[in-house]
């Protein structure tokens, strides 16, 4: 089947000037103009850096977006996810024509209406009814269109009683309800939505998500949805784009996109602590943790079939203590998947001399589901029970899914749910 592309972004980039806009711009403007009349390239386009909030760049210009390319099919609900400052909102602003890209173009086969933070243009002095008209017109509806849907809008908002009261007397929740109601009854081919669900009570959020599902599924409209609410993204979107530092990091199925987004880039398969910040108890300190594959090489990505070995190195600095090791595993959503105590450890019976020791735990293949995991390590005493230390996020690893006879999945290629994926026996 041929794809029906409704929206196409080609090489979208957006440059911003940092710092105090207003001082020095005149000289830059003159310089830019001087280059232009001599037919040269804009001198400030070259020196931009990628957008990274945490490091201080040397240039005054940054690229908020760099070479963004994507296509959206008709009727698709595309989720755009990314950390704060990843460029999501800039992209939506360009899509909704609020600001122009520095380079590149966006081509569209349908009207785009945006819903960047609802309540845009609401006037507190005017009544709810007047604001429905004003807001609807701002969003591109004609008076006739609004009049024909007025009753539905008022009913959906649930503000019937206050509809002739000035909006400044509304609670923030009511304002959002009203604003969302107006936008929900817009009829553009492409609807751009940014963080609408941040306000409003649970009941209304459910109603709003339902309405958006109707919009996309029932009415076949295309929706671009930006949100930090992963549950909303997951239930609404079919496909996702993960943005990071102004570029697209991942594009694909929404579940995979969410995983990519949640995946911590600080995850490491090898952690050595500095002298100063070692996790330590009264007699013991953790020095190093490694994630190893079956050949004892440090590896972060492991096949779903393979066992994962996590090796802990610790230092005893006081003799005569009996203890044991504990291990906890968490997935990307920070769900505690499992816990394991080394209940038969020799260290429970015989104290260790001062020195460095190693212990390792093996997670068998065909146990965990695909995804990213984080490991914690603890040293405990049993009698009386006492935790010497419990260090979270020591190391992490990813389980990569595979097909085939040896896997639990077998040859089924669709979505495979479940927190873990152990091989279980089916009896005849």
Partner 1 sequence: MNNNSPNDWLFEITPKNKFFSLNLREVWQYRDLLFLFVKRDVITVYKQTVLGPLWYLIQPLFTSVTFTIIFNNVAGIDTGTVPPFLFNLAGITVWNYFTACLTGTSDTFKANAAIFGKVYFPRIITPLSVVISNLVKFGIQFLIFIGFYIFYYFQGANLGLNSLILFFPVLIVMMGILGLGLGMLISATVTKYRDFIHLIGFGIQLLMYLSAVMYPMELIKDKLPSYGWLVEYNPLAYIIETARYMLLNVGEVSILGLSYTFVVTIAVFFIGLLVFNKTEKSFIDTV
By CB under 8 A, name the binding residues for partner 1: 2-5, 8, 16-17, 21-22, 25-26, 74, 93-111, 113-114, 116-117, 120-121, 123, 125-126, 130, 133-134, 137-143
Cα 304 from Cα 314, distance rounded (Å): 29
For the CB of residue 171, give the shortest distance to partner 1 in the complex, in Å. 20
For the CB of residue 159, give the shortest distance to partner 1 in the complex, in Å. 19
For the CB of residue 66, give the shortest distance to partner 1 in the complex, in Å. 14
For the CB of residue 232, give the shortest distance to partner 1 in the complex, in Å. 20
Q: Are 373 and 330 in contact, with CB atoms under 8 Å apart?
A: yes
Cα 70 from Cα 7, distance rounded (Å): 8
Q: How many residues are there in the chain?
A: 428
For the CB of residue 131, give the shortest distance to partner 1 in the complex, in Å. 9
Cα 418 from Cα 413, distance rounded (Å): 15
- Of 7 and 291, which has the nearer Cβ to partner 1? 7
- Of 95 and 233, which has the nearer Cβ to partner 1? 95
For the CB of residue 17, give the shortest distance to partner 1 in the complex, in Å. 8
Give the up-direction half-sphere exposure of residue 46: CA atoms within 13 A in the CB hemisphere: 5
The residue to which tokens 């009203």 are assigned: 178
- Of 44 and 273, which has the nearer Cβ to partner 1? 44
For the CB of residue 163, give the shortest distance to partner 1 in the complex, in Å. 17
Cα 268 from Cα 117, distance rounded (Å): 37
- Of 142 and 148, which has the nearer Cβ to partner 1? 142
- Of 241 and 329, which has the nearer Cβ to partner 1? 241
Is 329 strand, coil or helix? strand
- Of 25 and 171, which has the nearer Cβ to partner 1? 25
* Residue 367 DSSP class: S
Q: What is the CA radius of gyration of the chain?
A: 28
- Strands 190-194, 112-116: pairing is parallel
- Of 93 and 260, which has the nearer Cβ to partner 1? 93
Of residues 266, 254, 277, 251, the one with CA closest to residue 300:
266
Q: Which three-class secondary structure string do you get for 42-83?
A: CHHHHCCEECCCCCCCCCCEEEEEEEEEEEEECCCEEEEEEC
Cα 265 from Cα 406, distance rounded (Å): 30
Cα 234 from Cα 370, distance rounded (Å): 17
- Of 101 and 396, which has the nearer Cβ to partner 1? 101
Pair of tokens at residue 145: 């269109």
Between the alpha carbon of residue 304 and those of residues 94, 124, 162, 260, 405, the distances in Å are 41, 57, 57, 17, 13
For the CB of residue 106, give the shortest distance to partner 1 in the complex, in Å. 4
Pair of tokens at residue 420: 């873990």
Give the up-direction half-sphere exposure of residue 361: CA atoms within 13 A in the CB hemisphere: 21
For the CB of residue 406, give the shortest distance to partner 1 in the complex, in Å. 42
- Of 122 and 283, which has the nearer Cβ to partner 1? 122
For the CB of residue 380, give the shortest distance to partner 1 in the complex, in Å. 54
For the CB of residue 12, give the shortest distance to partner 1 in the complex, in Å. 9
Cα 161 from Cα 240, distance rounded (Å): 39
Of residues 367, 364, 376, the one with CA closest to residue 312:
376
Between the alpha carbon of residue 293 and those of residues 214, 302, 303, 371, the distances in Å are 47, 7, 10, 17
Q: Are 405 and 398 in contact, with CB atoms under 8 Å apart?
A: no
- Of 170 and 327, which has the nearer Cβ to partner 1? 170
Cα 293 from Cα 309, distance rounded (Å): 6
- Of 139 and 174, which has the nearer Cβ to partner 1? 139
């Amino acid at each position: 089947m041929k794809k029906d592309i409704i929206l196409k972004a080609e090489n979208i980039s957006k440059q911003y000037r940092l710092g105090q806009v207003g001082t020095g711009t005149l000289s830059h403007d003159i310089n830019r103009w001087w280059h232009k009349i001599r037919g040269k390239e804009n001198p400030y386009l070259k020196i931009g850096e990628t957008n990274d909030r945490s490091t201080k760049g040397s240039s005054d210009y940054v690229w908020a977006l760099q070479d963004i390319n994507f296509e959206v099919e008709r009727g698709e609900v595309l989720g755009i996810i990314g950390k704060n400052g990843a460029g999501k909102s800039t992209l939506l602003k360009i899509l909704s024509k609020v600001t122009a890209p520095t380079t590149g173009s966006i081509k569209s086969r349908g009207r785009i209406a945006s819903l960047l933070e609802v309540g845009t243009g609401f006037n507190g002095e005017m009544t709810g009814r007047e604001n429905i008209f004003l807001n609807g017109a701002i969003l591109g509806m004609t008076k006739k269109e609004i009049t024909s849907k007025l009753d539905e809008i008022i009913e959906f908002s649930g503000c019937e009683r206050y509809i002739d009261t000035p909006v400044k007397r509304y609670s923030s929740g009511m304002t959002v309800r009203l604003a969302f109601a107006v936008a929900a009854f817009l009829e553009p081919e492409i609807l751009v939505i940014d963080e609408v669900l941040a306000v409003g009570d649970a009941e209304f959020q459910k109603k709003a998500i339902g309405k958006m599902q109707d919009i996309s599924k029932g009415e076949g409209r295309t929706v671009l949805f930006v949100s930090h609410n992963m549950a909303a993204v997951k239930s609404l979107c079919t496909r996702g784009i993960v943005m990071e530092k102004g570029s697209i990091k991942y594009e694909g199925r929404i579940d995979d996109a969410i995983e990519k987004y949640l995946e911590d880039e600080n995850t490491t398969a090898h952690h050595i602590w500095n002298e100063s910040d070692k996790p330590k108890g009264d007699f013991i300190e953790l020095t190093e943790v490694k994630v190893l594959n079956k050949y004892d090489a440090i590896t972060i990505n492991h096949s779903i079939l393979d066992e994962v070995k996590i090796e802990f190195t610790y230092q005893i600095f006081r003799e005569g203590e009996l203890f044991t090791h504990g291990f906890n595993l968490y997935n990307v959503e920070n769900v505690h998947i499992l816990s394991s105590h080394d209940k038969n450890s020799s260290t429970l019976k015989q104290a260790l001399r001062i020195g460095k020791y190693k212990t390792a735990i093996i997670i068998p293949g065909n146990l965990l589901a695909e995804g990213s995991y984080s490991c914690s390590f603890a040293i405990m005493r049993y009698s009386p029970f006492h935790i010497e230390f419990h260090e979270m996020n020591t190391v992490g690893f990813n389980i990569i899914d595979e097909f085939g006879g040896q896997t639990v999945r077998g040859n089924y290629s669709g979505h495979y749910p479940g927190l873990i994926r152990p091989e279980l026996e089916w009896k005849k």
